[in-house]
A and B are shown apart, each in its own frame.
Chain A
Amino acid sequence: MKRENELILQVKDIHKSFGGKEVLKGVSFDVYKGETKVVIGPSGTGKSTLLRCINQLTFPDKGTVWLRDQEVTHHNLKEINRFRQKIGMVFQDFNLFDHLNAIRNVEIALIKVKGLKKMEAREKAMQELKRVGLSRQSLLYPAQLSGGQKQRVSIARALAMDPEVMLFDEPTSALDPELIGEVLGVMQKLAREGMTMIVVTHEMGFARSVADEIIFLERGKLLESGPPEKLFQNPEFERTRKFLFKLTELYGDINGYRR
């Protein structure tokens, strides 16, 4: 636990409905600096929606999100754009800008949003690509990269903005099994370096080795949360045990990312 660190992000009682169906029914949790939170839960329980409510890509119907002592929710669009710079996001299907090569993918927001000069932006972008192990692929276009490389570029793109917290929305779900390791490796390294992260994933090996806390979301509610050891060995609810067992069986186990 990193509770002695400062509080970076607070999610308070988030509700969200789509077309009359309530997807999130009041979810709250706190994220401390350097903490890695892993969010798990059956599909359709609002995990992605929860992440999008945090950076306001989806506006919650009720509830608030706080970045340090500032409220992210209920601001005008300009303010929200400012907050989004500090909240990095990595998507399941990468969403790289297809018309730009790797380095330009990383530097475009630095230039257009942060107003960096071309040279500065390029230098920073190169640094971030190196950080995810892709300095040699900097001139390749998304269509020329493997899935794992694409996802690493998208991680570099988010990192370049120097975010306070990173959101990962099932970052390995669209990848071939043999490419998952390289992405998880980068994420693990980030966690070690002290990046604050919220990760929606089914990769239990990653959750076990990296997570400070696992949040189990079911039917739009936070059913149970706690450190991985507790949830794996001694969960409060039978439902949690069953779900974790299923995930471990399907996606990997204690000793490695893959069986």
Chain B
Amino acid sequence: MENLIVVYQALPFLLQGIITTLGLVLSALALGFIIGVPLSVGQVYGSPWTKKFIGLYVWFFRGLPILVLLFLFYYGLFNMIGLNLSAFMAAVLVLGLRSSAYQAQIFRGSIQSLGQGQLLAAQSLGMSKGMAIWNIILPQALRMSIPGWSNEYPAMLTESAVTYAIGVMEVLTRGNFIASRTYRPMPIYLTCAIIFILLSYTGMKILHILEEKVRIPGFEE
């Protein structure tokens, strides 16, 4: 009973964290998408040097633990170049850049699975390569990427809790704060877990609906 009261009292404070958590996750995913798409195009169609550079970028952001990246950028790089970012903004930037590396690989796989034929056909009609990629390749590659991309959302959601380490006021940071005050870790962390599960479930549902909505007729399962 006492546990319930603790949770009840903590709930408004925890729920405010949802805004931060979702804001962080959605912004980082969006940033990752905006950077990831051109990266994937460059990785497939770019010059050898472009490919090499992108390969290095991907290797860097996929090769380091998130915590290392967060500390490196937030306490290190951003300070060094005099970029005075809030913990939240820094987290968005780091998680977003990291996600772009992963997302680029998802999109690259889809682009490559399309093959060269449609690109050649588009060019044979007088489209420039860029025009063909934009109008023909990407609309299909992005659709095909949705199932794979759906992994990015729960992955990002669970990873977002790590930003606790630089003090972003997301769900876990708030939970931790209350747990250490009330000495009741179990109910509080359980509540945090339920919040994460619900966020994850809702997001996946929405992505699934999106996948159905943009399905190309004739491609049945």
Which A positions have Cβ atoms within 8 angstroms of B?
A: 55, 57, 77-78, 81-82, 84-85, 87-89, 91, 93, 95-99, 101, 108-109, 112-114, 140-144, 154, 157-158, 161
Which B positions have Cβ atoms within 8 angstroms of A?
A: 117-118, 120-128, 131, 135-136, 139-140, 143, 216-219
Which residue in chain B gives the minimum CB-CB distance to A154?
Answer: B121
A112 contacts B131, CB within 8 Å? yes
Query: What is the minimal beta-carbon distance from B214 to any residue of chain A, in angstroms?
Result: 9
A84 contacts B219, CB within 8 Å? no
Query: What is the minimal beta-carbon distance from B133 to any residue of chain A, in angstroms?
Result: 12
**Selected A-B contacts with CB under 8 Å, 17 pairs:** A55-B124, A57-B120, A84-B124, A84-B126, A87-B124, A88-B124, A96-B121, A97-B121, A97-B122, A98-B118, A99-B140, A99-B143, A101-B217, A108-B135, A108-B136, A113-B126, A143-B219
Q: Which residues of A contact B121 (CB under 8 A)?
A: 89, 91, 95-97, 154, 157
Q: What 4 A-B pairs are tightest by C-beta distance, nearest first?
A: A143-B218, A85-B126, A95-B121, A109-B125
B216 contacts A98, CB within 8 Å? yes
A95 contacts B217, CB within 8 Å? no
Q: Which residues of B contact A101 (CB under 8 A)?
A: 217
Known: A99-B143, A112-B131. A57 touches B123 (CB 8 A): yes
Give the number of A-B contacts (CB < 8 Å). Answer: 80
Query: What is the minimal beta-carbon distance from A148 to any residue of chain B, in angstroms?
Result: 16
B125 contacts A113, CB within 8 Å? yes
B125 contacts A157, CB within 8 Å? yes
Q: How long is the Cα–Cα vector from A78 to B126 in the complex, in angstroms?
A: 9
Query: What is the minimal beta-carbon distance from B121 to any residue of chain A, in angstroms?
Result: 4
A77 contacts B128, CB within 8 Å? yes
Q: Which residues of A contact B124 (CB under 8 A)?
A: 55, 57, 84, 87-89, 91, 158
Known: A95-B117, A95-B118, A108-B135. A141 touches B128 (CB 8 A): no
Q: How long is the Cα–Cα vector from A99 to B140 in the complex, in angstroms?
A: 6
Q: Which residues of B contact A81 (CB under 8 A)?
A: 123, 126-128
Most chain A beta carbons < 10 A, residue from B124, B127, B131, B217: B124
A91 contacts B120, CB within 8 Å? yes
B217 contacts A143, CB within 8 Å? yes
Q: How long is the Cα–Cα vector from A140 to B219 in the complex, in angstroms?
A: 12
Q: How long is the Cα–Cα vector from A142 to B121 in the complex, in angstroms?
A: 14
Q: How long is the Cα–Cα vector from A177 to B125 in the complex, in angstroms?
A: 28
A113 contacts B120, CB within 8 Å? no
Q: Which residues of A contact B118 (CB under 8 A)?
A: 95-98
A144 contacts B120, CB within 8 Å? no
Q: How long is the Cα–Cα vector from A114 to B135 in the complex, in angstroms?
A: 15
Q: Which residues of A contact B125 (CB under 8 A)?
A: 84-85, 109, 113, 157-158, 161
B126 contacts A143, CB within 8 Å? no
